[in-house]
Structure 1
C-alpha cells in the first residue's frame, strides 16, 4: 500500500511567527522574543506514525511548552539544548547526543542555544506494540530523558538517522507502508533499549508456563502468513493467545531470538527467494529489499551476507 507523505517548511526571522509555527507544528508554547534576528528554519517529512524534522536556530530561544502527546527525540548536531523541567536545575545536551525532550504526557521548559538538530516523533502506542506492559500492568512509560549509557546513545542516534536518511528521506521508501511501519517499530524498540522506562522485562510465572512449543508454533504460523503486512509484537501475541512478555520468553527460550527478530529473518528469507526468482534485467536488489521492509541497502546487504554468505547482487545475477 502506498503511504501518504506530508511535507512542510518554515523560514522566518520573526519570533512571533516562530512561536505561532511551533505551537501549531508541535504543541502550544511560549518562547522568548528578545533576539534581534530570530532566524529559524524548519523542514518536516511525515508518513504514517512517523515524522522527522530538521531545525536550525541562529539564536538563543527559551521555551515553555505544553505536553506533546508523542515520543519526541532530539539528535543535536550543533549548539546545545538545555532542559529546565526537572527539580534539580538545568540539564544541558550537546552535539552527538540523542535524548527525549520530555515525557509525552508532561509539559516542559528549556532553552535552545544556537542549535541545529533533528527531531523524530512517533505515536506513544508504538511503545506498547514492541514491548511488554509496564511493571504495574499498564502502558509502558518513559521515565528518563537521557540514554542509559554512551553505547545506548550511539544506537539511538543511529536509529534516528536511519529513519531520517533512509526511510523518510527516501521518496520511494517513505511511500511504502510496510517500510514506514517497520522503521517506526525499529525506532520504538530502540527507544526502549536506550532510555529508562517502566516495562517489566523479566517474565512472571504465568508467562513462563505460557512459553510453550505450542505458543511458538502459533506465533510462527502467524508471522509466516503475515510477513508482507504491518505486524507488531502485540499482533503476534494476540495470534498466539499469550501476553507479549510470554511471547518474548517463548522465542528466547526455544529459538534464542525475539519475535520481531524472527519476523525480520522471515522477511529476509522472502527477499532471498525473490532474488533467486527475479529477472536481473528488470529487478533490482533495492526494489526487492524495500518490498520486504528493508529501506537501508547497506543494512540489508549485511544481513543477507551473514545469512547466505554472498552479496544479494550475486544472487540476483545467478539467472543472468
Structure 2
C-alpha cells in the first residue's frame, strides 16, 4: 500500500520526516516557499521512497539504523560523512549510500527529486559468504559504488524492485518480497566496498561432502514455503556458504538456490494440478505463492522442467 505526503509547511515536513525516518531537525536554506511531496511503496522489508523537495533543505539527523541508498534524479544532495571526514555531492544519475547506519548525518538537499531505498543492515550478512552467517555482521566501507558499471547495475536493481511494488494490487507475496530483498542486498554488496571476506578455501573443499548436501536439502524441504537465504541453508548444514556451493556443484551439478527453485517449481506444479481455473486459481497467484514474482520467468522455468506452459497444466 502506498503512503503519500504533500505539504507546504516546514514544520509538517519535519514532523513527517521524524515519524518515518529518524529524529532530525530541518531548515530552509534559501528562505523561499516550502514544497514537499513524498511517496513510499514497500516490498517486504524494503521501503522505496521518492521525494520531491522544492526548496533547499538543511538537515541534522540521528543515526538511521538502515542501509540507505540514495539516487538523485534532479537537483543535488550535499552530504557530510563523519566517518570519512568528507563532504560529497550527488548529482543527477548518481547513486550512493546516504549515511552509514550507525552514525548521525547532516547536509543540504538542493531542490532535488530523488529516491531513497532502505533495508535492514543484517540483510547484507544473510547473502554474504561469511564463515558464520548471522554472527559476523557485514558492513559497507564506502559510500560510492566501486565503478560506473556497478552504479548502473545498482540503479537497475532498485528500479526492478520498485516496479515490483506496483505490479501487485495488495501486499507483495512474502517469498517474492524475500527474493527481491536478497537480490537487492546482493547487488549492494557487489556495488560497494565492504568487509565480507573469503574464508579458508581448503576448509571449504573439505566440508563439500555428501552429508553437507543431505543436511541442506532436508533444511530446504522443511522450510520450502519460508523466507530462507543461502546463508540460512549454510548455517543449517554447519558449513560456510562457499563450502555449500562447492558441495552442490560437486554432487548435484547445480547451486543451492537453483535446487531450491526447482523444489518450489515442483510445489507449484502440484498445486496447478490440484487446482482449477473455475475455482478461482490463476497461474499468477500460484506462482507468487511459491515465490515467483515474475510470471514470464516462472513460465519459462516451468516449461523447461515440465515441457508445457503452466496454464496448460491448470486447464487440464
TM alignment of 1:293-308, pairs within 5 A: 293-301=291-299, 303-304=301-302
Measured after TM superposition, the shift of residue 315 of structure 1 is 5.0
Q: Does residue 13 of the first structure (1) align with residue 11 of the second (2)?
A: no
Match of 1:51 in 2: 47
Aligned 8 A contact 1:55 1:116 in 2: yes
User: By how many angstroms is 1:63 displaced?
Assistant: 2.3
Task: Give the distance between the partners of 1:74 and 1:241, measured in 2 at CA.
Answer: 37
Q: 1:119 Cα deviation (Å)?
A: 1.8
Equivalent-residue separation in structure 2 for 1:134 and 1:72 (angstroms): 26
Tell me the SS of whatever aligns to 2:81.
coil
SS at match of 2:260: helix
Contact 1:47 1:168 in 2 (8 A): no
Superimposed CA distance per residue, residues 238-259 of structure 1 (whole angstroms, 9 cap, x where no aligned partner): 3212233432343355456543
TM-score, normalising length from structure 1?
A: 0.83
Deviations 1:199-252 (A, max 9, x none): 113544333311212202221232233222221234312321223343234335
Partner of 2:151: 153
Q: Which of 169, 191, 196 is equivalent to 1:194?
A: 191
Partner of 1:66: 62
Q: How far apart in 1 are the matches of 2:148 and 2:306?
A: 32
- Cα deviation, residue 278, structure 1: 4.1
Q: Aligned runs of 1:163-178 on 2, under 5 Å?
A: 163-167=161-165, 170-174=168-172, 176-178=173-175
Change (3 A) 1:139 1:289: same
SS at match of 1:84: strand
In the alignment, is residue 123 of structure 1 matched against residue 120 of structure 2? Answer: yes
> How far apart, in 2, do the equivalents of 1:80 and 1:254 lie?
52
1:233 to 230, 236, 243: 230
Q: What secondary structure is seen at the aligned counterpart in 1 of 2:137? A: coil
Question: In structure 1, which of residues 22, 30, 33 is the aligned counterpart of residue 28 of structure 2?
Answer: 33
Tell me what 1:216 maps to: 213
The runs of at least 4 consecutive aligned structure 1 residues that moved more than 6 Å come to: none
Tell me if 1:139 matches 2:137: yes
Shift of 1:198: 0.7
User: Unaligned regions of 5+ residues in structure 1, if any?
Assistant: none
Paired residues of 2:53 and 2:113 also in contact (CA < 8 A): yes
Q: Residues 61 and 112 of structure 1 are in contact (CA less than 8 Å); yes or no, is this contact kept in structure 2?
A: yes
Superposition RMSD on alpha carbons, in Å? 2.9
Deviation at residue 26 of structure 1 after TM alignment? 1.0
Q: How far, CA to CA, are the matches of 2:87 and 2:197 in structure 1?
A: 30
Count of residue pairs the alignment pairs up: 311
Counterpart residue number, 2:38: 42
By how many angstroms is 1:141 displaced? 0.7
Q: Which moved more, 1:254-263 or 1:210-219?
A: 254-263
Q: Do the aligned partners of residues 94 and 162 (structure 1) sit closer, same or farther apart at CA in structure 2, a change above 3 Å counting?
A: same
- Pair 1:73–1:254, CA change in 2 (3 A): farther
1:139 to 1:306, Cα distance in 2 relative to 1, 3 A:
same
Question: 1:206 and 1:122, CA in 2 relative to 1: closer, same or farther beyond 3 A?
Answer: same
Change (3 A) 1:234 1:112: same
For 1:298 and 1:93, locate their aligned partners in 2 and report how far apart those are by CA, in whole Å.
Answer: 36
* Alpha carbons of structure 1 residues 277 and 76: separation in structure 2 relative to 1, 3 Å: farther
Structure 1, 308-317 or 89-98: larger mean CA deviation: 308-317
TM-score (norm 2): 0.84
